[in-house]
Amino acid sequence: MKNLYINQILSIFLLSSFFIGCGDSSSDEKTNENENIKKSEKSEKVLFKTRADLGEALFFDKNLSKNRTQACATCHDSKQAFVDKRNNSLMLELKQAVSLGDDNKSIGNRNTPTINYASLTPSFKYSSSDAIGGMFHDGRAKDLKEQAGMPLLNPVEMNMSSKNEVISRIKENENYIKSFEKIFSKNIFNNDEDAYEALTIALASFERTKIFNSFDSKYDLYLEGKYELNEKERRGRDLFFSNEKTNCASCHLINNSLTLNTKETFTSYKYFNIGIPKNILVHNKRVVLGLENEDAIDNGLFENKDILVDDQKGKFKVPTLRNIAITSPYMHNGVFQKLDTVLKFYEFTRDNNLYKINPETNKVWEKAEVEENIDNVHLLSGKELDQEKINALITFLKLLTDKQYEHLLEGKK
């Protein structure tokens, strides 16, 4: 009897412990659920304090594209120096030369440029057959603010039908509404044009922040006396900054000055036709997709609505060399995959007999897409470069990589 009594007591204790345990577990789950709800509510109620903060949220928001699949950050990946390195099948087929749109089938005809240091680009100006500044490869956007609003409405990019549709998406987010009203004006949504301009201002403000303009590469540290160049880096530097040995400076330095500028963006922001071949791979795909005709030609600067004279055909804006070693493929149409190829192409255009063959195709170089207006004056300057000098130049160009992207240099040639 004594044992039976003990067993009964033990059973009651175990059952009580079980139910108490279940009760505790349920309580913990409910508590965690409530905490998550509170965190979510708190997140939704946090207002953006500055234009840049608001711009950052908009930059990463996929809801601002037609099918809610693509943000600014999709084609300008912050982890990839703000270029498009997506590995979807179509982009891999085209060697990432151009970007895939929100409809998951359309592609552009030009390579997505980095927007690192884009905020330092001067506004577009054109006079006496000479153009400078502006955004995109052809300067069709006057400045950063104007550029920020264009991809949203581009049918092969984010594909929104109108500014009104974009603002309607903004209004779906109460946090956006309150933030726009606080940062810009209480009546900002009374007019879609005003609201859309505010959106572009916010995006441009974000692109002016330090994440885009860090100036902390090894080259910058060298200028500050905090990094010592090795022999190969010094040789590459000397080649780059010499108008006698190369002619890099005439296009890739601000004001064509050989001065070591602490805020150098390594572009003159001018426009040249250097005889870049058509990207046949991209062209053929766009023809198949019905995006361009068989005889389509990219006339570059001439397609800018402000340009009316034929002698601007085939000209494209000189890109920054900041982060150039990790932002392949190269040229306005992504036709070349490696810096080595780019430099050998320059040498080929200068009649350097060492490089009659494109090393990426093992065939003779394709003819220029626009054969008129090729700028031989700049191309023919300087002395011929052998492979050793090309390697030294590439070594120098790697020094222009921002600190946050240095890990991407591994394996780059």
- Read off the pLDDT of residues 79-101 as tens digits, 9 standing for 90 and up: 999 999 999 999 999 999 999 99
Q: Do domains 51-206 and 218-409 have the same CATH topology?
A: yes
- Render 216-266 in DSSP notation, one character per residue: -SHHHHHHTTS----HHHHHHHHHHT-TTT--THHHHSGGG--S--TT--S
Other Cβ atoms less than 10 A from the Cβ of 286: the count is 21
Confidence (pLDDT) at 129: 75
Lowest mean pLDDT among 205-214, 261-270, 376-385: 376-385
- Per the CB < 8 A criterion, the answer to whether 103 and 76 are in contact is no
Whether 44 has a pLDDT exceeding 90, the answer reads no
Sheet strands (E) in 75-199: 125-127, 130-132
Q: How confident is the model at residue 234 (pLDDT cuts 50, 70, 90)?
A: very high
Whether 217 has a pLDDT exceeding 50, the answer reads yes
Choice between 43 and 124, residue whose per-residue pLDDT is larger: 124
Which of 43-57, 116-130, 136-150, 237-251 holds the top average pLDDT? 136-150
Lowest mean pLDDT among 69-78, 128-137, 153-162, 274-283: 128-137
Which residues make Cβ contacts (< 8 Å) with residue 74, sequence separation at least 6?
62, 84, 86
Confidence (pLDDT) at 74: 98
CATH fold of 51-206 reads: Cytochrome Bc1 Complex; Chain D, domain 2 (1.10.760)
Q: How confident is the model at residue 52 (pLDDT cuts 50, 70, 90)?
A: very high
Would you list the domain boundaries of the chain? 1-41, 51-206, 218-409
- Read off the pLDDT of residues 390-411 as tens digits, 9 standing for 90 and up: 999 999 999 999 999 999 998 7
Whether 239 has a pLDDT exceeding 70, the answer reads yes
Average pLDDT over residues 340-351: 92
Confidence (pLDDT) at 37: 38
Confidence (pLDDT) at 380: 64
Place of tokens 């795909």: 285
N- to C-terminal Cα distance for the chain? Answer: 87
Which residues make Cβ contacts (< 8 Å) with residue 372, sequence separation at least 6?
273, 310, 313, 314
Average pLDDT along the chain = 88
Residues β-bridged to residue 272: 316
Confidence (pLDDT) at 305: 82
Q: How confident is the model at residue 256 (pLDDT cuts 50, 70, 90)?
A: low
Confidence (pLDDT) at 259: 66
Lowest mean pLDDT among 30-39, 59-68, 133-142, 389-398: 30-39
Residue 95 in tokens:
């060697």
Share of the chain above pLDDT 70, in %: 86
Q: Does domain 218-409 have CATH number 1.10.760.10?
A: yes
Lowest mean pLDDT among 178-192, 372-386, 392-406: 372-386
CA gap 331, 289 in Å, rounded = 23
- Among left, alpha and beta (phi > 0; psi -120 to 50; other), residue 406 is alpha
CA gap 103, 107 in Å, rounded = 9
Q: How confident is the model at residue 71 (pLDDT cuts 50, 70, 90)?
A: very high
Whether 219 has a pLDDT exceeding 60, the answer reads yes
Whether 255 has a pLDDT exceeding 90, the answer reads no
